[in-house]
Chain A
Amino acid sequence: MNISEKILARASGRKEVSPGEIVEANVDMAMVNDITGPLTIETFYKIGVSKVWDNSRIVMVLDHQVPADSAKSAELHKIVRRFAKEQNIPYFYDVGFGGVCHQVMVEKGHVRPGELIVGADSHTCTYGALGAFGTGIGSTEMAAVFATGKIWLKVPETIKFNVVGEFQKFVGAKDLILSIIGQIGADGANYKAMEFDGPVIKNMNVSDRLTICNMAVEAGAKTGIINPDEKVMAYIKNRTDRQITPLKSDAGASYEKIIDLDVSSLEPQVACPSSVDNVKPVSEVEGTPIDQAFIGSCTNGRIEDLRIAAEIVKGKKIKNGVRFIVTPASHEVYLQALREGILETLAEAGACVSNPTCGACFGGHMGLLAEGETCISSSNRNFTGRMGSPKAKVYLASPATVAASALKGEITDPRRL
């Protein structure tokens, strides 16, 4: 079996499972945020139960509209806060203590290799970077999980990506995953698992692996996943005291298909408006004027991303007329960036550094676009209206490409600065 099959077999108490089978699985961890949580809570009480199945397996994070950007958002936060208190949920992350839910999940040790994790957020597939099977679900389904701890899942087919070669300077994980989505399409892995392997992935740090698995859903995948190794074990070592049983794909595991990729000649990639699979090498869109550059989100708002941005803008000023918004993905990232002087470097270059939030990425607040404006963003979606006006344009790229573009005021290849 491959890693996804092994995790689903373990979670459903089976010796073996195969693609297409429907299993009833026990959930190891369940996560909601301030957008999906209130609906989950409302629905949970409608079912007619009063206690969650296991309060130590639930994580609640306020992240989409924090600090509350309106009285309506504040009401939603109040619903989540009250529920956390009523149900005695130990892992509730309020404003100032957490950040973007997926980043919080991994850095607070709630994601462990071999586990089945469901989240009421589509980017729950991020957790595969640590060798967990993470998948996004909706609020009603989450209410049922809160009540029962169980979920039915179809065992997915798996596409394996075997990645070899060596990245050029300022080309990396984001360019790779954009290039893959461009090749297979926005539904290229619909209902399937995407397993990433090969020397390039093995050499990658955990942050880059998170970026890759995070965007699996943009190809329609149920999860993105990577066999856990010593880097993962080192990452989680001091973050959790739960017993860990890592699972890995067998040598002879079967796959629907295996796609071989060589990154050596990969250029920086850009997903053009208005779909994530409309991917072009940066050379084809270079020179496109921008009004805003955004670095943040569960895709690329980690310390490693901010370091790259700081390296590129250090001692320089961003182009007059461009707004450069930087949103660290979590409070921990924010503090680390503060200690390393990164926030100062970015702010001196003209960046507006915000608190951790999903804000601009999902078009909630803190950096929305007006009609006719263009943004280059390190986030994960560029759908029509995603970041504000339906008449604004969003290009997706790596933090390096975004930072370079902020300096020039137009889409720029970071290798040419």
Chain B
Amino acid sequence: MEVKGKAIVFGDHVNTDVIIPSKYLTTLDPSELAKHAMEGLDLTFYEKARGGVILVAGKNFGCGSSREHAPIALKHAGVRCVVAESFARIFYRNAINIGLPVVECPSILEKTSNGDELLVNLAEGEIVNLTKNLRLQASKLPSFILEIISAGGLVEHLKRRLEKHGKL
């Protein structure tokens, strides 16, 4: 599984309140949430992300609340994958469960500039910075997580299981 896109770079400890401010939590509409993705840090994010990007960040990306609206907003704004030095655990699980690939790469922030073209190989845990011609080692996702992501999220994954086995 490969994902390609231009990098948009943020720093450490990007929290869910800035990814999607709480005033938008009364909507369940992904396209509406998408319009306000990253609004707490960058009011132009939605414009920049359209067409598909890879979000790059530092430590502890997605810390804070359990709101799944955060990865949903990012995914529907056009984020194809989040690559961070590390993730907060609830965001990490939420992203996988809604089919947004998340990859840990300790050197990503140091080696990536805004606009760099990245190619992320999820199964191999490798990131290629095509602009700078660099190869970076990232965490490899275990196969059961890759299955969930490639199904498009946990719901599709469970539906397939239900269809195949007649039970969950």
Q: Mark each residue of chain B from 126 to 168: 1 if its CB lies under 8 Å from any CB of chain A, else 0.
A: 0000000000000000101000000001110011001000001
Partner among A136, A140, A222 whose Cβ is within 8 Å of the Cβ of B155: A140
Q: Which of B17, B67, B86, B153 contacts A383 (CB 8 A)?
A: B17
Measured CB to CB, the nearest residue on chain A to B23 is: A363
Known pairs A138-B93, A141-B94, A363-B22; A187 contacts B59 (CB<8 A): yes
Please determine whether A190 and B86 come into contact, CB atoms closer than 8 angstroms. Answer: yes
Knowing A39-B28, A363-B23, A384-B18, the reply to whether A187 touches B88 (Cβ < 8 A) is yes
* B11-30 near A? 1/0 per residue, CB < 8 Å: 00101011001110111100
Whether B97 lies near A138 (C-beta < 8 A) is yes
Using known A-B contacts A38-B28, A121-B66, A385-B40, determine if residue A136 contacts B90 with beta carbons closer than 8 Å: yes
Chain B residues in contact with chain A, CB under 8 A?
13, 15, 17-18, 21-23, 25-28, 40-41, 59-60, 63-69, 71, 86, 88-90, 93-94, 97-98, 142, 144, 153-155, 158-159, 162, 168
- A39 proximity list for chain B (CB < 8 A): 28, 68-69
Residue in contact with A190 in the complex, picked from B28, B89, B158, B168, CB distance below 8 Å: B89
Selected from B21, B28, B86, B144, the residue in CB contact (under 8 A) with A187 is B86
Asked whether B93 lies within 8 Å of A141 as measured between CB atoms, the reply is: yes
14 extra A-B contacts, CB within 8 A, seeds A138-B97, A143-B154: A35-B67, A36-B66, A47-B159, A48-B162, A49-B162, A120-B66, A137-B94, A186-B60, A190-B86, A275-B13, A363-B21, A381-B15, A384-B17, A385-B17
Contact in complex: A220, B97 (CB < 8 Å): no
- Interface of chain A residues 162 through 200 with chain B (CB within 8 A): 186-187, 190-191
Given contacts A48-B162, A141-B94, contact A381 B17 (CB under 8 A): yes
Chain A contacts of B67 at CB under 8 A? 35-36, 138
Report the interface size for chain A: residues with CB under 8 A from the other chain. Answer: 49
Instruction: Report Cα–Cα, A47/B163, bound state, in Å.
Output: 11
Q: Which 5 A-B residue pairs are closest in the complex by CB-CB distance?
A: A138-B94, A187-B60, A72-B26, A138-B68, A140-B97
Listed in ascending order, the chain A residues whose CB lies under 8 Å from chain B are 22, 35-36, 38-39, 42-43, 46-49, 64-65, 70, 72-73, 76, 119-122, 124, 136-141, 143-144, 147-148, 152, 186-187, 190-191, 220, 222, 275, 362-364, 381, 383-386, 390
| In contact, B162 and A47 (Cβ under 8 angstroms) | yes
User: Does B90 lie within 8 Å of A46, measured CB to CB?
Assistant: no
Interfacial chain A residues near B17, Cβ < 8 Å: 363, 381, 383-386
CB < 8 Å: which of B25, B94, B142 contacts A35? B25
* A140 and B90 form a contact (CB under 8 A): no
Least CB distance from B53 to A in Å reads: 22
Nearest-CB distance from A128 to chain B (Å)?
15
